[in-house]
Structure 1
Amino acid sequence: MMRFDLHAHSKYSPKCGYMEPKVIAKIARKKGLDGIAVTDHNNIKGALKTREYADKALTVITGSEVMTSRGEIIGLFLSDEILSTDFIGVIEEIHDQNGVAIVPHPFDTLRRSALWPTENDVKYLDGVEGFNARNVYQKSNTDAIEFGKKHKLAITAGSDAHFSNEVGNAGVITDNDDLREAILSRQIEIFGKRNGISNHAFTKGLKLCRKIRRSL
């Protein structure tokens, strides 16, 4: 069985990212992962850089967490940057690249960036993130799982790591060598534990420091 963390951020996430791509690759292997999706906000630079440091035993999935007109969508298995900001347009760009469109941390009441999918959205989506290790309330994860099951969507998971101690805290398990196929055919199981609340404080501090630097 192979383990993949499908949501992590590098320093190329301009507001919240901290980790060097080299560190992500190193920690992912140390945590026993077979692969990790680097999903920086609105760009794929971090994933491409992380791939340069990965050994043959680690698969780096090129991803991006894109802010749309309605909230965030994660694209996995990308080859190019996503340029649209329209909800449908972003998903179309992901699919044009043969990518997979996932709603990260849906139903999270504490994130203004969270997209709350409806029944009308199901035809556009490939999956929902059923476990996000940074969700403060487990109900957000539970609601996502219920929505995914009801509408026969893939249910994924990821650490949403901003710091090295979060890498690998959540993800998916599969015995299918083709991870994309495994997701689309729902041949995956999720695992995870929630990250410590202190990591949220560190992220807020990081954002504040960067805001101050930009204002100087």
Structure 2
Amino acid sequence: MRALDQKLKLDLHTHCLEALRSRPTVEAVRQIIEAVRAKGLDGLAITEHWNKEYGLLAREIVRNEFQDEIVLLPGQEIVTREYGSVVELYLEEDVTFRFIAHPYLNFSIRDYAGIHGIEIDNEMHNYHIDKELVGEVARREELILLHNSDAHYLEDLGLFFNELSLAELYAKANGNGLPLLSHSS
């Protein structure tokens, strides 16, 4: 088990369902793990379009069949009127970390409530990201700047990645850097 404050190399925006064209079987997850390891990453988030089930099932397979060999964060990419594309990462204890993916493609954001990060690099959409504007917004709104591949093919995993701890994601999402503690009555 990794410490929450351990720095990890993570690609937080990937589409493994599109890459594999397969449901998350043990063999499919083995291919994902091999691709993650080949790129020198510690893990990734699986963020299918409007589909959180793929990532949730893949995480269970990583836990049960591969003893958490990599960090796998389930999530999904959705499109909102307010922000355009938003990625939600489902951390432990019902904590959700949200970031704006490929910002400012076709819209203008005015309110960042409920947003914890923003992509400054996205391999598929880097051509239109105004890095100066994104940097200014991140500083002003105290958002984590993210570098992600948006990979739709396994060979593209990790073309951009982040070096951060899970505690940093928790800190932005729930304010204290730690998973919420379950209480039993």
Same fold (TM > 0.5) = yes
Instruction: Give the letter for the 2:138 counterpart.
Output: G
Inter-CA distance 182–6: structure 2 relative to 1 (3 Å threshold): farther
Assess if the C-alpha contact under 8 Å between 1:105 and 1:141 holds in 2: no
Aligned to 1:178, which of 159, 162, 167? Answer: 167
With the length of structure 1 as denominator, give the TM-score of the two structures. 0.62
Q: Of Structure 1 and Structure 2, which has the larger fraction of its residues in strand?
A: 2
Kept in 2, the 8 Å contact 1:3–1:171? The answer is: yes
Query: Of residues 8, 25, 39 in structure 2, which corresponds to 1:2?
Result: 8
CA contact (8 A) 1:133 1:169 kept: yes
1:3–1:139 Cα change, 3 Å:
same
User: Per-residue CA shift, 1:100-138, capped at 9, x if unaligned?
Assistant: 111101023xxx5xx5422xx123321211211112416
Partner of 1:103 in structure 2? 100
How many pairs does the alignment contain?
Answer: 157
Counterpart among 37, 41, 57 of residue 29 in structure 1: 37
Q: Which has the higher contact order (CA 8 A, sep 6+)?
A: 2
What is the CA-CA distance between 1:169 and the residue it aligns to?
Answer: 0.9
Gap change, CA 1:169 and 1:48, over 3 Å in 2: same
Q: Which runs of 5+ in 2 are unaligned?
A: 1-6, 23-27, 178-185
Residue in structure 1 matching 2:80, options 53, 62, 68: 68
Query: Which consecutive residues of structure 1, in runs of 5 or more, have no partner in the other structure?
Result: 12-16, 80-95, 188-216
Percent identity at matched positions? 24
Which position in structure 2 is the counterpart of 1:131?
Answer: 121
- RMSD of the alignment, in Å? 2.7
Q: Runs of at least 4 residues of structure 1 off by over 6 A?
A: none
Matched with 1:163 is 153
Query: In structure 1, which of residues 46, 50, 75 is the aligned counterpart of residue 58 of structure 2?
Result: 50
**TM-score of the superposition, structure 2-length normalised?**
0.72
